[in-house]
Amino acid sequence: MRSAKSRRIGFLLSIAALAVVVGCRETKTPPTPFQRPRSLVLITVDTLRADHVSAYGYDRPTTPAIDAFAARSILFERAYSAAASTAPALASLMTSLYPHEHGVLETFGFSLAAEHTTLAERLQAAGFRTAAVLGIGVLMPNRKLDQGFESYSSTAYTNERYWLSAREVTDAALRWLDRNARDSDEPFFLWIHYFEPHQPYEIVPAEFRTRFVATPSAHPQLRGLEPGSRWHSYYKERIDGYDGALAYVDSEIGRLFSALGDSGILDDSMIVLTADHGETLGEHHQHGHVFGLWEPIVRVPLVVSVPGVAPGRVRERVELVDVMPTALAELGVPPKSDRLRGRILPLRRHENGPPWSRFPLGERPVHAETWFEGTRVGMRIEDRFKTVLTQGPAGVSEIRAYDLEADPGEEVDVGGALPDAARREQALREWMRKGLGAPGLIEREPGEAEMLRALGYLE
């Protein structure tokens, strides 16, 4: 392997060379020479909406480290989570199943059944070292997302402390890499989950908490509001807090990337950066997630780097259930299941790969769902239109539809004016009825309700 110094220089030069605007990536490019990644590093950031990342066009410099990584990677402009809360979304990421199939319907009260094979289990069976470093108490082992991880580090929680800071998470990840990866050729899968920018935003260092207070914001939620007015100040305070927390996480991700570059892992491994879900910051009179499938909640960043693949941007819609089949294809590990709902992401064409890696590309409908308080909401996006079905207690249901191109803020329900409205509604209803799995149930541990209340999951 190259020396740490030469690898570091090479990494910096590659960042400088690639810090240019790249056009939309065509999916019909010639196949690239296949260079198999050695390992997989998955970075997930809690409540990170795509449109607050600078590389996605945000007007504030919230994410310089993520931007530099995106400049050398494939950035998916329209990636969607399968759920609006942490445990269901991450269970979908790890199993390539939707929440109603894997049974983790809410972040509290449900666990992943042992019958489902996770990405970690599949890679562990193929000889990979597996480890997870997670910064939030709701990912404790009783959620059963620890399946397949030989090392699973999540914070214990108390009424006062239910998270690990981004610095602590990075420190723990680097310690694991020092012990298990730097001087070894053994393949590994490392999953790192950062808690911020989840509320409460005051838990981040003061330097970041106040970073954007004096900076104007072009956030859509502030349009039409008089600066200094009550509601302008109310929303701006929350937007400033969110952006400051994101900048703090980004600084720690930058420290992680620096170490990965020094060790050569950034160049010879597959690196995936994404989020479990996003967050509303006043849109539709909401601050949070869980209770809806608005674009700020379900649209998340997805940036992927693999050896030998040129950087670019992909416009077609993709889903986080696509991450597991893509990682298995890149790492040369057969999926061992025909139930995976995702498809291979268009990083490169796999004509020379094994048959199970040759999934068709192109636009297809994307789906998501959320469950709360006896209510289920399902979403289907097909071409430019989004259909949302809410099923409440006693069989009461409501159907809404939005034209995402003409109305990206989802302000106008186009309802019956939607082309093919009946067919679209029927397709969504069929998706919500299909493949219902038996949920795994867990007992709440002492103090868990207080933690969930502090995080906004309970009233």
Helices (H), 215-300: 230-263, 265-268, 295-298
Contact 125/417 with Cβ under 8 angstroms?
no
Q: Would you give the DSSP letter of residue 406?
A: T
* Predicted pLDDT at 285: 78
Provide the residue ranges of all domains of the chain, joining segments of one domain with +: 35-344
Contacts of 184 (CB under 8 A, 6+ apart): none
3-class state of residue 156 by DSSP: coil
Name 134's bridge partners: 154, 193
Q: According to the model, what pLDDT value does residue 144 have?
A: 85
The average pLDDT across 167-189 equals: 92
- Give the span between the Cα atoms of 209 and 143, in whole angstroms: 31
Residue bearing the bigger pLDDT, 101 or 452: 101
| Residue 308 pLDDT class (50, 70, 90 cuts) | confident
Averaged pLDDT, 211-222? 89
| Residues 81-93: tens digit of each pLDDT | 999 999 999 999 9
Question: How far is residue 201's CA from residue 246's CA, in Å, rounded to a whole number?
Answer: 9
290 Rama class: left (phi>0) / alpha (psi -120 to 50) / beta? left
Neighbour-count burial for 386-414, b at 16+ CB within 10 Å, e otherwise: bbbbbbeeeeeeebbbbbbeeeeebeebb
Please give the pLDDT value at position 46. Answer: 95
CATH class of segment(s) 35-344: alpha beta
Q: Read off the pLDDT band of 395 (50, 70, 90).
A: confident
pLDDT digits (tens, 9 = 90+) for 341-393: 999 898 875 445 544 444 455 568 999 999 988 889 999 999 999 999 999 88
Supply φ then ψ for residue 339, to 5 degrees. -95, -5
Please report the pLDDT score of residue 451 as a whole number. 65
Distances (CA, A) of 316 to 78, 364, 367: 7, 9, 14
**Does the structure show a pLDDT above 50 at 158?**
yes
Q: Which helix (H) or strand (E) holds 66?
A: helix 64-71
For residue 212, what are the CA distances in angstroms to 24, 40, 53? Answer: 31, 34, 14
pLDDT per residue over 196-205, tens digit each? 998 888 889 9
Tokens of 408: 């990206």
Phi-psi region of 163 (alpha: psi -120 to 50; beta: other; left: phi over 0): beta
Q: Within its chain, how far is the Cα of 397 from the centroid?
A: 29
The answer, yes or no, to whether residue 440 has pLDDT greater than 70, is no
Q: Give the pLDDT confidence of 15-68 residue by residue, as tens digits.
A: 333 333 333 444 444 445 568 899 999 999 999 999 999 999 999 999 999 999
* Residue-level pLDDT at 160: 61
CA distance 85 to 46: 9
Residue 9 has pLDDT above 60, yes or no: no
Instruction: Supply the pTM of this predicted model.
Output: 0.86
Distance CA 444, CA 108 (A): 8
Q: What tokens were used for 58?
A: 């945000």
In terms of pLDDT, which residue wins out, 437 or 150?
Answer: 150
Which segment of 106-120, 354-368, 399-413 scores lowest on mean pLDDT?
A: 354-368
